[in-house]
Amino acid sequence: MLRAEAVGYPAAAPMELENRTPFPALEYDIVDARGDESHVVVARGSYELRAASGEGAGEGDGARITHVAAMTDGELVLSDVYHGEINRSSVKVESDLAQSKPRCDVIVIGAAHAPAGEAAARVDVRVRVRRLAAIPGLAEAGTLLDHRLAVHGARAFERKDDGWALTDPEPFAALPLRYEHAFGGQLKVYAEDEAAQRLDGAHRLSEAARRAHPEAEAAPVAHATCAHNPFGVGFLEGWYADAAEVKRWPAPRIEAPGAGITAEIFARMVAGEVRAGEAPELSPRGFGVIAKPWQPRLKLAGTFDDRWLAERWPYMPPDFDMAYWNGAHPDMQCDYLLGGELAELWNLLPPSAPGAAPEAAGTACRFLVPEAAVVVRLTGKGDAVSFAAVPIDTVVVDLDQMRLSLVWRARIPASLEVEGVSLLALGYMKQTGAA
């Protein structure tokens, strides 16, 4: 690791980690924006979601538990995992090696499924997480997260004599919940394209910009990107619409209910009256990871300028915000989980899936977050011992694999002069049935 004294910060004493949990765990050191060094301990628990039956099928706040979590083998995620090609698709699962997360990320991987098995023009999906009972001294009961998305069938904007019009959505049975189907995208014109002949100089890349372009010798002559989601659909600017003589343009299929894109806001974007990200209708929505280079997450990383390079490199700038490490969409972040919370999902499983429960609101899936309480035992000078509970700061529900992952993270300031840490798990045998 790059040590803190490289920029005049104090160096932390080494610390040994004893992992006495059934989960893979790792210790690493960090230096925050204030120059304070800390030890970070992270562990990941992996569970299989199984259709509940017999004793496993219980009642949760009046609603039947349809799935139970059984512990299975897993490993830490040490680098970002993508849905497709690296840096050409959205992030599926982010690395566990975050410095710290001020809130809990809830990530859901899967697809929207039309209820009753019949194709629909629109499917509403929902994720809710509730703490059913207070934990004295730690947390109150209540709803931690409740987020909905409206998922549409394929549709497009069509250019008419009097402006743009949005077509009716086509019925669909299922759609992957990825940012590739949410608002965003990028615009490219290559030298061999007919549109290149109609480009004005103002929108052409300079020779220096083309040489620095990731596509190198095959770089486009013009390129614009939606900074909030480069891989989505619906993003369009007037210069490209004119050069490419666009008559029909695909519309985003995943939106926030009540803030869906319209022909009016689309026309204003094309005319340059409003920019991507400046209106709710022109912002990507989803249950997945907002990648680190995307806005508005990137702004939280702070200012990387010449002064930072001269005085702070390789450490974070002073205006770095720890919220940068939260990768979930802001609507999918909540207070830390402690175990035992009820997770509820609607229209995220096929109606025929084992354990799927048909309801008036759609196909439901419910499970309890495992009560695997993770604790750190800290040993200091003179054999002083203290204990601290470790919260869950990341939840990944992978409905494609019917798998649940929980990440626990503890940040231990180096100023505590801890010499050793033991990671303990309490209660996991009862919850998962592990031997």
The structural domains of the chain, with segments of one domain joined by +, span 4-150+322-432, 152-282
Q: What is the pLDDT of residue 61?
A: 54
- With vertex at residue 233, the alpha carbon angle to CA 232 and CA 234, rounded to the nearest 5 degrees, is 135
Q: What is the pLDDT of residue 63?
A: 66
Q: What is the pLDDT of residue 11?
A: 55
CB of 24 closer than 8 Å to CB of 44: yes
pLDDT lower than 50: segments of the chain: 1-10, 55-56, 429-435
Residue 398's beta-bridge partner residues?
A: 109, 403
Q: What is the pLDDT of residue 426?
A: 76
Q: Hey, how many other C-beta atoms are within 10 angstroms of the C-beta on 126?
A: 17
Q: Name the token pair of 103.
A: 């809130």
Q: What is the pLDDT of residue 3?
A: 38
Within 8 A by CB and 6+ apart from 54, the residues are none
Q: What is the pLDDT of residue 59?
A: 53
Q: What is the pLDDT of residue 434?
A: 36
CA dihedral 137, 138, 140, 143 (to 10 degrees): 180
Q: Name the token pair of 236.
A: 């369009």
Q: What is the pLDDT of residue 7?
A: 42
Q: What is the pLDDT of residue 56?
A: 41
SS3 label, residue 208: helix
